[in-house]
Amino acid sequence: MAATKFGKVAVLYGGHSAERDVSLRSGQAVLAALQAQGVDAHGIDPANVPVTELVQQQFTRAFIVLHGRGGEDGTIQGALNTMGLPYTGSGVLGCALAMDKVRTKQVWQAAGLPVAASVVVRRHETHDWAAILTQLGGKVMVKPAQEGSSIGMSSAATSEELAAAVAQAHNYDHEVLIEAWLSGPEYTVSILGDQALPVIRVQAAHEFYDYAAKYQATTTQYHCPAGLDKARETELQELAQQAFRAVGGRGWGRIDAMCDAAGNFYLLEANMVPGMTSKSLVPMAAKAVGISFEQLVWRILELSEV
């Protein structure tokens, strides 16, 4: 496809979510890569420009690089559907499901896919924290149901820590997911079209792969090859593709997983608009199979649809 065939492309980035800063960096990288290849691409920040401007300014498709709420939860996808504009990535249902960690786990459980044991806590509910810790094995990870980039996440191993972790997570969402702690390595699998890219093993110097480890630390290590033998790598890639399809994923995305102490894979979450910064994992996985950043954004744009 020639660059002119894409028409006038809006690169949507920024927005109002807690991941705005990361989205701005991702969007600027995507915009520069598209423009370098002759695509008539323009940056649009929905925090400053109404989405209806896309029609008025005669854009013909959108490259979504909005992370978090408002961009990764089906909201912008629904608006673009209404306007009849093709866009990158998953549709309304896939994005809405993947943004909600609780519903994602429920779908995966129903599909027979492996997920860690968990408890959902809603704001203002009263719980026996000691009993929950006992039920989930003594140490847990606490997550807001609908945030990305590890925002609002923390671990807990005592009743006091769990109460504080849940209170912190409730600052971001009325539902909080408490998951059994997984002590094995963390992996991520990028999806591009029908292809699962090479697995990356993430090794953070922090207790877990938190926001600082993702975007600020220089000590986080990314291993690609991931250190898995071929059979295990294929197993995880196939699991990631099943997980992506189960929540209605299309175009591109990323599935995160971890192992328990016995080496069993467990799915963590689905990312429908993954990061595209210099530290991001999808470009890293693509590079491992000879796909440059410019080729990657071109391919994602090619996969855009209504």
- Residues with a catalytic annotation lie at 19, 149, 280
Q: Are 204 and 279 in contact (CB under 8 A)?
A: no
Tell me if 271 is assigned to a ligand binding site. Answer: yes
Q: Is 233 annotated as a binding residue?
A: no
d(CA 251, CA 282): 13
Evaluate the omega torsion of the peptide bond into residue 274 and state whether it is cis, within 30 degrees of 0.
Answer: no
Structure tokens at 22: 């990361």
* Amino acid type, 54: L
- Strand order of the β-sheet with 154-156 is 118-122, 175-180, 140-144, 154-156
Is 269 labeled as ligand-binding?
yes
Q: Residue 241 carries which side chain, given as an amino acid letter? A: Q
In angstroms, the Cα distances linking 75 to 68, 71, 180, 254, 297 are 10, 6, 31, 19, 22
Write the DSSP assignment of 178-229 as a string of letters.
EEE---S-EEEEEEETTEEPPPEEEE-SSSS--HHHHHT-S--EEESS-S--
Residue ranges of the binding site for Mg(2+): 256, 269, 271
